[in-house]
Amino acid sequence: MKPLRIGLLGIGTVGGGTFDVLTRNAEEISRRAGRPITVIKVAARNEAKARRVVPASVPVTPDFLSVARDAEIDVIVESLGGTEPAKSVILEAIAHGKHVVTANKALLALHGNEIFAAARAKGVIVAFEAAVAGGIPIIKALREGLVANRIEWIAGIINGTTNFILSEMRGKGLSFADVLTTAQAKGYAEADPTFDIEGVDAGHKISILAAIAFGIPLSFEKAHVEGITKIEAKDIRYAEEMGYRIKLLGIARRREAGIELRVHPTLIPAKRLIANVEGVMNAVLVKGDAVGATLYYGAGAGANPTASAVIADLVDVARLIDADASHRVPYLAFQHDRIGTEPVLSMDDVETSYYLRLRVDDKPGVLADITRVLADNHISIDAMLQKEPEEGEAQADIILLTHETIEKNVKRAIAAIEAQASTSGKIVLLRLENLA
């Protein structure tokens, strides 16, 4: 059978890893795909750099669009990152009838609806396993393995940089700023780490998972996205004392009124497996009505893990390239004419539990005033930790864990408590998920 001919766009970490694994495991991959999978052209901005990976027998060009239009190429593998020129090149490739494999979560989260519509019109495959959680096959699990289930919720550690930072802060008692410097020195964080530490990267990924899980359009613009820059070492320590660990979670949950779609630091009971995922590793917990809770764990980034996911998509394309388009797995798991219209809920309408850290005067009646405000806002306390004042200080930290309540109630209560003369500064709010 004739080879599947690949045009590889970008030869950085993902593209270079894909080329390396395709070459190294060519025979094994061919046996599984039923045909050879061969890179016949590479597009890269820097040809000299590309030649460190690509042999002279494979042409290298700086013209991405020429690869998208090349009649000899069956599949484009896009590993450029960002939205442009990636979006333009992918749409051009689709217009020329080429299948697409991409690892570009930002592109899909922002423009996936448009890209899938264009691909459906041309009858071509767009595969994107590597876009979420690197080498963990979470897309395939949601699109295929769990199709019998009504997915109830997803909670994922889907950004390795932030998980490394929080793990180091917990393990060594260091500040966020100190650990960020270490992460950058180790290459886990970019020189400009904003997308990671502010939760944007995780927001892109959870938006993709939510669309597949619930059969809704990609809705990143409606997601609540919050990073870890305000996490203090004392909050990690207090959470630990109360039996919890803090992780940056991407959460998507089905509610009667709509879909919760959010990214934020979250307290998780330390006894949960996902709470014990450390360093740069990723993990995704999926709750289905039939199967219950399932956990997917592994390397969420890196050349070889991501290449593993890219090549899994290429093997799928090789197997399905001659199949009728109507017999393929839909891009977002649900048939395109059955995509739902459930709204994404405002953060004010989210229902969860909360961690509140207050700095208050250490005197009688203060706690009673606080609990009265909480009760007036329909918030009940699940647990409390009161720290002794430091020597010579007249104020102390009080940490409250609440039962489940609506976020707008918590915000209203916080405003009232902060207005009390006995309260100093701003109250720290973190959310808590039991993930039972």
Residues 283, 175 share a domain = yes
DSSP conformation letters of 18-54: HHHHHHHTHHHHHHHHTS-EEEEEEE-S-HHHHTTTS
Q: pLDDT tens digit string along 201-252? A: 999 999 999 999 999 999 999 999 999 999 999 999 999 999 999 999 999 9
Q: Both 210 and 252 in a single domain?
A: yes
Same domain, 214 and 102: no
pLDDT surpassing 80 at residue 127:
yes
For residue 346, being part of any structural domain is answered with no
Instruction: For residue 287, tell me if it sits in a domain.
Output: yes
Quick one: 53 and 126 in the same domain? Answer: yes
Residue 416 is assigned to a structural domain of this protein: yes
Model confidence at 390, pLDDT cuts 50, 70, 90, reads confident
Question: Quick one: 320 and 386 in the same domain?
Answer: no
Structure tokens at 311: 């090549």
| Judgement on whether residues 414 and 307 belong to the same structural domain of the protein | no
CA distance 212 to 209: 5
Answer yes or no: do 218 and 96 share one domain: no
pLDDT value of position 306: 95
- 256 close to 273: Cβ distance less than 8 angstroms: no
Query: Could you report the per-residue pLDDT of 54-107, keeping only the tens digit for each?
Result: 999 999 999 999 999 999 999 999 999 999 999 999 999 999 999 999 999 999
> How many C-beta neighbours within 10 Å does residue 321 have?
16
d(CA 180, CA 169) in angstroms, rounded, equals 10
Q: What is the pLDDT of residue 436?
A: 86
Q: Are 169 and 295 contained in the same domain?
A: yes
DSSP SS3 for 39: strand
Catalytic residue numbers?
A: 205
Residues 361 and 218 in one domain: no
Please name the amino acid found at residue 304: N
**What is the rounded distance in angstroms from the CA atom of residue 414 to the CA atom of residue 377?**
10
Same domain, 79 and 125: yes
Query: Residue 366 is part of which domain span?
Result: 351-432
Q: Rounded to an integer, what distance in angstroms lies between the CA atom of residue 390 and that of residue 86?
A: 55
36 and 113 housed in the same domain: yes
We report the CATH number of the domain holding residue 175 as 3.30.360.10
Same domain for 216 and 157, yes or no, is yes
